[in-house]
Chain A
């Protein structure tokens, strides 16, 4: 009894000490006026210096690896610490539903006027109430024109490739885009929620797995360059990284259509620096700054003024940068699925587990 008692006391003392010491230890001195989380390399490396030169505000940029991970962190912490995050639109939608996103005060972001009108009326956030688009684009097929003999025009060539492409195609593995390929090939919407559509897409994707080289959403363009793969399911911007290395690489949106994805900036409700966050959004939407993303990471931005200034040679080299806003908004905007997310997750687990 006395031993247990002593053990218990010691245990309590250590735990208490650790807890007390934790907040007292030197932590990140919250000196910056603004903390923004983004993917590494998605903004100009000198953005903090230029932002400070223009506004006098100190900006700290931190990084996250995926939408999913930053969302998990924001949900578990209630969004404390970060002032503004870059996430894809379905995740911005969730942040709003969870009460984690602050409203956007348009009066503080005059550069919103630079956006294409279509980019201010997205169905997930009409009128940019809680999110501002940073980049947008679509998903399609990226292939080596010197290695693929037949015309590439339908999702079928990905799901049911001809003999010469068997074992030479890859598909995206992130759940929504993987399912989108199956849904589009079987004639459904990328946001379909009825069981029959999900089932049909799932069967098509399980069948397609037999001819697949791999599921890949990080190194597929590298596989294309090395010749390991001949045709890959790809986001438009990433296909451009392949094109940069090999001029025979082409990008095509299949005739059945595709999705429209939007990466957005969201101000956190828990932020104590909302004003600075708005200044930052305005700074990014400045055409000269926004054009950086097009010229350096080869993504399209929904900024009319920035796009009009693009050098023609860039569009010539990377034709998908020339897609018009009308064409892009003609694709299906990816939405949060609500309750149907569970059915998608289960379907994707089943596809990945299939032999």
Chain B
């Protein structure tokens, strides 16, 4: 799966003929070398170690945990249990919802930062990530203090004259989604900002000069140009959410399980490394397929539209 494949990657992107020679020129020395250190790092510190673990998927759990050298396909077959597919779907739904909301909030935020005076932009970006240099657990505790039945939101409502039953805001899917959006929002802001900033003003002006309305300019020029940033940010929220277990445990009251949690439990709670490895492999394959699909869609949006706009 991980080897560098030779064959043509069936047109994942409509490549712009200018791009290749141009990027070649960017790089001071041979372009292939640029990727080499990163590739090497991943080959040694990701692929090699992970292959060690994935080999366990084909072996047997010992009576008291550990791994026994007996080949079996049992672990892979157990992955097909509908229970696990159900957990995958639930966590996909929760992560998907968190992703959608995070992008909807982050896009205007990133756009507002880009439109701010240039010397304010770094400060605004830093301030957006600063809360996340604290600790995940105590941030989550802060949300519990805000949302619980005896919490600040309910107390505030009472002060405002609300007299009904206190609202149950915690331990629900909604609370989990809010927690995920909160913790991963800055990552989406960063990713979108990275593509929106320096969005060539001339392009926008040209579009306006040609008589396009502000909305049309946004839809035909800005949005396609920022699509890769939106896509990258969306991937961040989605993958981080699906692997999260603190928020479902604390804000969801443990009523929801994300796939990351399921795999963690196999390795550590059940001490069942072979099955954990099998589930991990299945998750990686499914997510990889989703990511390739997503990359293809993004390339259509950005590549196609921008190409048309330029013509």
Contact = CB atoms under 8 A, between A and B. Distances in A.
B87 A213 contact: no
A3 B30 contact: yes
Contact of A173 (B150, B170, B249, B271): B249
B171 A214 contact: yes
A11 B254 CA distance: 44
Contact of A72 (B37, B44, B150, B267): B267
Contact of A349 (B43, B65, B87, B250): B87
A18 B44 CA distance: 9
Contacts of B254: 173, 214-216, 352
Interface stretch (A92-100, A106-114, A259-267): A92-100
B33 interface: yes
Contacts of B14: none
A214 B90 CA distance: 18
A12 B39 CA distance: 10
A66 B246 CA distance: 14
Interface in A74-91: 75
A67 to B, nearest CB: 9
Given A11-B39, A12-B40, A219-B250, A6 B33 contact: yes
Contacts of B270: 175, 341-342, 344-345
Contacts of B90: 353
A342 B144 contact: no
Interface string A2-40: 011011001111110011000000000000000000000
Contacts of B275: 342
A246 B70 CA distance: 55
B85 to A, nearest CB: 10
A200 interface: no
A337 to B, nearest CB: 9
A348 B268 CA distance: 14
Contacts of A226: 148, 150
A60 interface: no
B43 A345 contact: no
B107 interface: no
A11 B272 contact: no
Interface string B287-307: 000000000000000000000
B58 interface: no
A295 interface: no
Q: Is the interface of B mostly helix, strand, loop or mixed?
A: helix
Contacts of B268: 66, 68-69, 71-72
Contact of A19 (B44, B148, B256, B262): B44
Interface centre among B86, B148, B150, B270 (most CB of A within 10 A): B270
Interface string A202-216: 000000010011111
Nearest to A346: B83
- In which size bucket is the chain B interface? 35 or more
A68 B269 contact: yes
Contact of A338 (B36, B43, B64, B269): B64
Interface residues of A, number: 52
A181 to B, nearest CB: 14
B63 to A, nearest CB: 5
Contacts of A10: 33, 36-37, 40
Contact of B43 (A13, A15, A75, A173): A15
A14 B36 contact: yes
B174 interface: no
A214 B253 contact: yes
A218 B44 CA distance: 38
Contact of B83 (A14, A71, A338, A353): A353
Contacts of B133: none
Interface in B145-186: 148-150, 168, 170-171
Interface in B83-98: 83-84, 86-87, 90
Interface string A315-355: 00000000000000000000010110110111011101100
B108 interface: no
A341 B272 contact: yes
A175 B271 CA distance: 12
Contacts of A175: 265, 269-270
Nearest to B63: A338
22 contacts: A6-B32, A10-B37, A10-B40, A11-B37, A11-B40, A14-B40, A15-B43, A68-B268, A71-B268, A72-B267, A167-B168, A170-B253, A173-B249, A174-B269, A214-B170, A214-B255, A215-B249, A226-B148, A345-B270, A346-B81, A349-B87, A353-B83
Interface of A: 3-4, 6-7, 10-15, 18-19, 66, 68-69, 71-72, 75, 93-94, 97-98, 167, 170, 173-175, 209, 212-216, 218-219, 223, 226-228, 336, 338-339, 341-342, 344-346, 348-350, 352-353
Given A226-B148, A346-B81, A352-B255, 6 more contacts: A3-B32, A14-B36, A72-B268, A214-B171, A352-B257, A353-B257
Among all A-B residue pairs, the 6 with the closest Cβ atoms: A214-B253, A215-B254, A11-B40, A68-B268, A345-B270, A97-B64
